[in-house]
A and B are shown apart, each in its own frame.
Chain A
Amino acid sequence: MVSFFIFLLLVAVTSAAASSDYSERLLLRPLPQSALLASFNFRSNESSASFEHQNFRYFPRSLGQILQHAHTKELHLRFSLGRWDADSWGQRPWDGTREGGTGVELWAWVDASSEEEAFSRWLTLTNALSGLFCASLNFIDGTKTIRPVMTFHPEGHHHNSSNLHLLHGTLPHEVVCTENLTPFVKLLPCKGKAGISSLLDGHKLFDASWQTMSIDVRPICAGDGSDCALEIEQNVDMVLDMDRSKRPRDNPIPRPAPIEEIACDASKPYNAEDTCYPLDKGEEPDWSLTDVFGKPIRGACPLTNSDGDGSETVCINVPPERSVQVNTKGSYVESKHAEDTMRCYQLPTGDDFDLMLPSQKMTTGLVRSQPPLTAARSINGHGQERGSIQAVITNPSLTEYVEFVYLESLPWFMKPYLHTLRARVSTSTENPVVETYYRPAVDRLRGTHLELLLRIPPVSTLTLTYDFDKAILRYTEYPPDANRGFDVAPAVIRLVSPQSQHSSRGTYLRTTSLLLPLPTPDFSMPYNVIILTSTVMALAFGNVFNLLVRRLVGADEMDAFGPRGIKGKLTGRLQRLMRAFKGKGGKAE
């Protein structure tokens, strides 16, 4: 009989750990199919008084100055790669509040007296962040910026929120890579030299099946609005494929294990000496931090609390029967939480720390918590003129209605027709659209902004479709790889009800990004056009000119002017020559 324990949600564990000025925590959780979820969380606080005076201690100076310069009160920045496989991995970490769509996503509350001022400060912000994170954030211009109405709410405490403007921009085409991680790690007080951040390595992080880096800056205040501080929270969440990560870096080509080591399914008809259908071994793989991340943790970051909740910086979420061995020379403390499914460790200072889990046959497992909603989005249709978008959103709950906001930020060259918007629910005939907010695109100035408040009954699937036209771009507006297609930012879904039990931040979900093929011209076109029109014009000119300046004579009168044309001239010359030759010859005779 296999018994199950519930997966702990990350938010429940780390919510208490914000009392000191700096705290960090790593949570490891094995997932099915030898995947491993690693969630790194770093928080630093700076009192708002010293922030105003630009005395930075744990808050990074470079980012702090950018925020002050751009008058940004709250900032959320995401770098993401890959897709979260909700079917096999279950609910997203942090309820999806700390992840972004594929590429780069940025939203911020900017303090400004007018919309124009807010936008110019937003541009300042994106340009400065672009330099700080070595990302193309400066390409977030008016066409990629929207002002969401229902989807995002500030997380921090803002007292004079009347002047705050929310702006949101995405870059779905941006490829997140090591050059974004390096500045990210530099913002941490321990800089990857100690503490859990010493595990962050670009080779492993960007080899993950799914990864997201986030930076969230928000003001937090005591209940009465005094004693404010600015909190920066940095997260790195990734799902590593353990088999892939364990391959040595100098020999990364996957090779099959020797056939003797594989348990084969002999009942298959093709089972032979050289053909094998491998059987599932039914046991958890063995792994250690050094295997998966390439190096052990280099001791604790001394800036964290030395005792109490914040001192337990590494936690692993496995069933109680799973054996976990600690390999360190220093002294560490292990404690167990939540019916022993969560083991947390106080790291030794100055000594390497490694966790080793041997291969083990398990009788119990952990139950994955189900996501409250699943969503998939695709482009339908064919041809280069028009297409349609289809989003399929499923509510798996047996009892509860789900109400959510669906946000689309489409590029201007994708022109949706709102009258073709259809929302159908599989189990009922009522209209699921509760509210619509739509701001149409303006060519080359801004993109489409569509927000829908939708409601799905239990065990139902909602299908949302709308048609769109594909615009033809100007010659210079095409990127160098125009035939690859254009990326369309993921749709953002925020659950309105049921509310998440774990935190006030809400629950978020993002679809994958889409690739939109646009009609691409022949890029040698301008020269062809020049040559063609020139030829036509030259022909016309030549005819008119010749008609005007040539003298017209009858065909029989033409010979009076002597031989015409090159042929005539040539034959004339030839004959004269031949005659001269003949004349000489005649004399000689």
Chain B
Amino acid sequence: MSSVRDANASSNTKPAANDSHSPPPIIKAAIAKKQPPPETSESVWTRRWVIFSFWAVAIFLGLPVWWKATAIYRAELPLQTMTDWADGKICKPVFPLRIAVEAPALPLQDAQHLVRTTQHALDDLNEFSAHHLRLMLAAAPFANASQETVGTTNDNTIEPFRVPRDKDIALSIRMLPVESGSTPRSELQQYSPALDVYYTPNQIPPPSSTSSPLATFIANELHKVFAEEQATLAHLLSTTSTAHVSKIKSLSPEFSAELERQSTRAFKYAPTYHLTFSLFSPTSVPSDWEIESALQQYLTPLLESFSSISNFTVDTQVQLYATFSPSMRQPEFDAELNAWTLRKEDLSGFINAAEWPLSPSIGIGPTINFVLYVPDPSQSPLLVKENGGNSWLVPQWGGVRILNPTVSGGAPSTPAKLDKEALASAMHTFSDQLFSLLGVPQTPASLPLRLTTLTRVRAASLVFSASSTLSALARLYKALPSIPIPDTVAKSVDLTTAHLQLACNDLREGRFQGALENARVAEAEAEKAFFERSMVGQVYFPDEHKVAVYLPLLGPVAVPLVMAALKELKSFLVWIKRRE
């Protein structure tokens, strides 16, 4: 078969040359191909418009619809604010502590002067600027309201005000004039936030002097009382955020390690703790204990004093036939101590988690376990080998106490029922352990002071923890563009920042209880936002599946569209070239 084009060409270019031996006219007519009518520019443009409108529909309608239909709702979050909170750019926590000075025996002028000089001495001692002790002259019981603010104007020192006693006073100093004994001396009240300072009247600084031994003494005492709190707060500030560089120099590495140990031991703050007291015995005795009255006597007052910080629920149980886990090294008999001993490194495996029913209590909040273990009479007394102790603390879990049966008539025998007296020592151990587990500082001796210190430390740590949760959420928001962010998260974030701001203001103004309340709300909201269920519940939808779903439709549709567009573009370019 000869080429059509060739045939055409020959018939067109040389019609006369082949005349003599050309084929018959009919065949010639068939070979001389019929030309289609030239395409009108109108139809060319129609075609272009058609293709253009298809593309327009695909791009301006299809794409947006697809985009809208598959879009994931992501609420707007104030990312910058959230990161700023974590970086400490918005709030630098400060702890101005108000200390009331009660000096009913002193004339007002002398008292004010004493307060001023003591404040000077104190400011010289203080190395940690965020923690500031502010002395105030307490209102004398007989002073009426109009006399309350008698301030002197001074540039650098804080004006001593006569303020009424309220709960924002961290500590009150009672100036007590005495005639006998060594003076000045001080005494910290065990069960109230008060420091009694005894002095002889001649120690009162004369109005002309700028310093006096009494003022220095009081300042030193105060500094001592708040030393651990300052160190703890400084440590907290330095560890939780890079922005708050510790400004305290005297924090030795050993002391810092000790603080670190204390803080890892303690539970995280929670509004409610569940306390579980369990009696474990490898035999069938003792099967009963007077726990209710023991708790009533030894624990309830303690828990009541905590009530401004956290609430507690208490439950108890008796578990018999509790054996050690088989992986633990069994107690060995030590002839020297005449006792059965547990090695220190085995103490972590003492609790047989698989078999002992120490499941956490139901309800929000962590469970603190206290285990009273009464060993088998054949294995008693049971002690810790290294130090002969009988109790230990499991960090962030609870405490263990071994109660060895009393030896009566040569052989140790376990009573069927443990009475309150037998439980007394165990209860003391448990309350000590509870203090450590809740993060109560070791000093000072005054319990209310330690609790208010705990309030401040907790408030600060909650502020830090909520801020870092916020920044984690911000990072999550940026890192995972495919997770949905519902409006509730945005709302929670707003609430968190609002309450953080309130907590920060409260801290600045010395309202520590209010700061704790606000920080608690902030922390709860931040956690709620971070663990929002619909956010975590995003299913992994792999790209291969998308291809499998889209390709069967988009492939056959896209190919003609693209080809037509290319062809038209090409012919358009040719047309333009021709015109030139």
Task: Please give the residue numbers on chain A whose beta carbons come within 8 Å of chain B beta carbons, in ascending order.
Answer: 50, 53-58, 60-62, 65-66, 69, 128, 186, 189-191, 193-194, 301-303, 527, 530-531, 533-535, 537-539, 541-542, 545-546, 548-549, 551, 553-554, 556-560, 562-563, 572, 575
A545 & B560 in contact (Cβ 8 Å cutoff): yes
Determine if A57 and B318 form an interchain contact, defined as CB atoms under 8 angstroms apart: yes
B34-A556 in contact (CB<8A):
yes
A503 to nearest B CB, angstroms?
30
Q: Are A189 and B320 in contact (CB under 8 A)?
A: yes
B3 near A61 (CB under 8 angstroms)?
no
CB distance from A300 to the nearest CB of B (A): 10
The reply to whether the CB of B556 lies closer than 8 angstroms to some CB of chain A is yes
- Among the stretches B43-51, B165-173, B456-464, the one at the interface with A is B43-51
Cβ of A534 to closest chain B Cβ, rounded Å = 4
CB distance from A122 to the nearest CB of B (A): 15
* Interface pair B287/A190, CB less than 8 Å apart: no
User: Is B336 part of the contact surface with A, judged by Cβ < 8 Å?
Assistant: no
CA distance A191 to B357 in the complex (A): 11
The yes or no answer to B245 lying at the interface (CB within 8 A) is: no
A191 to B54, CA, bound (A): 77
B249 touches A (CB below 8 Å): no
Contacts of A539 in B (CB 8 A): 556
Q: Which of B3, B284, B564 contacts A194 (CB 8 A)?
A: B284
Contact yes or no, B5 A557, CB < 8 A: no
Q: Give the CA-CA distance A340 to B57 in the complex, in Å.
A: 96
Residues on the B chain within 8 Å of A530, using CB: 548-549, 552-553
A272 CB to closest chain B CB (Å) equals 56
Tell me whether B284 and A549 are in contact (CB under 8 A).
Answer: no
Residues on B with C-beta less than 8 A from A553 are: 36
- List chain A residues, Cβ under 8 A from B564: 545, 549
- A556 — nearest CB in chain B belongs to which residue? B34
B560: A residues at CB distance < 8 A: 541-542, 545-546
Whether a CB of chain A sits under 8 angstroms from the CB of B315 is yes
Can you list 23 A-B pairs, Cβ within 8 angstroms, ordered by A?
Answer: A53-B292, A54-B316, A55-B291, A56-B318, A128-B362, A190-B321, A191-B320, A302-B285, A303-B284, A534-B552, A534-B556, A535-B556, A538-B555, A542-B560, A545-B560, A545-B564, A549-B47, A549-B50, A549-B51, A551-B39, A551-B47, A556-B33, A557-B36
* A residues near B361, Cβ cutoff 8 Å: 65
Q: Is the CB of A186 within 8 A of B357?
A: yes
List residues of chain A with CB within 8 A of the CB of B555: 538
Closest to A548 in B: B50
Cross-chain contact of B553 among A534, A545, A551 (Cβ < 8 A): A534
Q: Is the CB of B3 within 8 A of A572?
A: yes
Is there contact, CB below 8 Å, between B357 and A62? yes
Within 8 A of A (CB), among B5-36: 5, 33-36
B391–chain A nearest beta-carbon distance, Å: 22
Which residues of chain B (535-580) have a CB below 8 Å from chain A? 548-549, 552-553, 555-557, 560-561, 564
Known: A57-B288, A57-B318, A549-B50. 8 other contacts (CB 8 A): A57-B317, A65-B315, A190-B284, A534-B552, A548-B50, A549-B564, A557-B36, A562-B4
Q: Among the interface residues A54, A190, A535, A553, which one has the most CB atoms of the partner chain B within 10 A?
A: A54
Q: Is B125 an interface residue (CB 8 A)?
A: no
Q: How far is the CA of A539 from the CA of B316 in the complex (A)?
A: 74
Is there contact, CB below 8 Å, between B362 and A55?
Answer: no
Instruction: Determine how close the nearest CB of chain B comes to the CB of A65; give it in whole angstroms.
Output: 5
Docked complex: B344-362 residues within 8 A CB-CB of A: 355, 357, 359, 361-362
Partner of B292, one of A50, A65, A545, A563: A50
Q: Quote the shortest CB–CB distance from B430 to chain A (angstroms).
A: 15
What is the CB-to-nearest-CB distance from B42 to chain A, in angstroms, rounded to a whole number? 12
The answer on a CB contact under 8 Å between A303 and B287 is yes
Q: Are A560's CB and B35's CB within 8 A?
A: yes
- Contacting residues, chain B, for A191 (C-beta < 8 A): 320-321
Contact A69 B362, beta carbon cutoff 8 Å:
yes
Q: Which residues of A contact B50 (CB under 8 A)?
A: 548-549
Task: For B51, list chain A residues within 8 Å (CB).
Answer: 549
Residue from B3, B54, B313 within 8 A of A575 (CB atoms): B3
Using A301-B284, A575-B3 as known contacts, say yes or no to A538 and B553 having CB atoms under 8 A apart: yes
Interface residue B326 (Cβ < 8 Å from any Cβ of A) = no
Distance from B152 Cβ to chain A, minimum over Cβ atoms (Å): 58
- Check B34 against A557 for contact (C-beta < 8 Å): yes
Q: How far does the alpha carbon of A116 sit from the alpha carbon of B105 in the complex, in Å?
A: 66
Q: Distance in Å from the Cβ of B358 to the closest Cβ of chain A?
A: 9
Contact check, B561 vs A545: say whether CB atoms are below 8 A apart.
yes
Whole-angstrom distance between the Cβ of A304 and the nearest chain B Cβ: 10
Which residue in chain B gives the minimum CB-CB distance to A59?
A: B317
CB distance from A528 to the nearest CB of B (A): 10
